[in-house]
Amino acid sequence: MPTEELTYREAIVAALREEMQRDPTTLIMGEDIGASGGPFKTCLGLYEEFGPARVRDTPIAETGFVGAALGLALTGFRPIVEIMFSDFLGVCFDQIVNGIAKHRFMSGGRVKVPLVIRSIGGGGLRFGAQHSQTGESWMLSVPGLKIVCASAPDVAYTMLKAAIRDDNPVLVIEHKALLSTKGDVAIGTEPDGALSGPKILRTGSDATIVASLAMVPRALAAADLLSAGGIEAEVIDIRVLRPMDTRPICKSVRKTHRLVTVEEQAQVGGWGAEVAAQVVHEAFDYLDAPPARVCLPDYPLPYSPVLEDAALPSPEAIAAAVRALM
């Protein structure tokens, strides 16, 4: 398969284009995604290629068009919706949590809901408290949803393709601070296993760092800092928050004896708590220190650049959290 260097944004567009070419029942809906290519240009060129019926600008009405996606999914289509900012997941919470997530179950497993919600979240762009949240844990306690997080161009590409082919509702969280990051993407790769769970990105023997989204590159940078000081950290991209598979993380901790989770959201109710709980349950005797969680402080993300930067977990802060366990 040809490998191309793509930005994260280009990888999203490529995945959408290929899957829409592959399956005529796919279509994408969202705010300003048509002729404008999307506020973050994540649909660039799709409108020209597939036309207004399949690349559909919606009113600013998330409840309306996310609910409509459920109706499409129940009647033979494979809709993809774009949520411009993950913060707006709150606007259509009912449709996702009470409708999309539960419809198959309530029917006795007799309907399928092949539906993708692409949601662009995350901080670091000075967008303030209502346009900077990842929302990754908001629906973590809801059975019936798959929730995945794209940390790099190749992940975004395969994960989105797999999500579109999945017969279930998948919430794909993308991070806007990653949109222009570059990486090698194996174009045309079959996305088998792309929704399967955590992936080890760097091996190490002294501590396990588990991160999501934009915290993944920061965790890798932290591992570099630690390595310079003689500490080898294993870095895992959690990738799939639901259904959560912590077996690779537990296996890693049995080797490293230390766990640090890194997530761009508040500590209470974050996925790091679930990872820590499962590691404690499954690998208690292997831990040399209590699991640590690196998160956002317990206040909304501030606007001022100096304050936002201070709030977001830095590689130095992640490295410090690991050192504190040694």
Partner 1 sequence: MAAPARQSGPSIMTTREQAASEVSSGGAGRNVRLTDENRLALYTMMVDIREFEEQVQRSYLEGLVHGTTHLCQGQEAVAAGACLALRQDDYVSYTYRGHGQCLARGMDVEAAFAELFGRETGVCGGLGGSMHLTDISRGLIGAFGIVGGGIPVAVGAGLSAQLAGRGQISVSFFGDGATNIGAFHEAMNIAQVWRLPVLFVCENNLYGEFSRIDHTTPFEDLVRRAAAYAMAAVIVDGNDVEAVHEATAEAADRARSGGGPTFIECKTYRHRGHSRTDPAKYRDPAEVEAWLARDPLITYRAGLEAAGVLPVGEADAIIESSRSRMKAAAQQAAAAAWPQSHDFAAATFA
Interface contacts to partner 1, rule CB under 8 A? 27, 53, 58-59, 61, 63-77, 79, 94-95, 98-99, 103-114, 143-144, 146, 167-168
Query: Which of 137, 133, 131, 61 is closest to 92 using CA atoms?
Result: 61
Based on CB atoms, which residue is closest to partner 1, 76 or 230? 76
131 catalytic residue (yes or no): yes
- Rounded Cα–Cα distance for residues 65 and 61 (Å): 6
Q: Which is nearer to partner 1, 91 or 221 (CB)?
A: 91
Q: Which is nearer to partner 1, 143 or 230 (CB)?
A: 143
Name the active-site residue from 10, 19, 31, 62: 62
Rounded to a whole number of angstroms, the minimum distance from the CB of residue 166 to partner 1 is 8
Asked if 62 is an active-site residue, the reply is: yes
State the minimum distance, in angstroms, from the CB of residue 44 to partner 1. Answer: 23
Least distance (Å) from partner 1 to the CB of residue 27?
Answer: 8
Closest distance between partner 1 and the C-beta of residue 26, in Å? 11
Residue among 103 and 218 whose Cβ is closer to partner 1: 103
Among 126, 121, 122, 69, smallest CA distance to 92 is for: 69
CB-based contacts of 179, cutoff 8 Å, min separation 6: 7, 8, 9, 40, 42
What is the SS3 string spanning 202-266? ECCCCEEEEECCCHHHHHHHHHHHHHHCCCCEEEEECCEEECCCCHHHHHHHHHHCCEEEEEEEE
Q: What number of residues does the chain have? A: 326
Q: Which residues are catalytic?
A: 62, 131
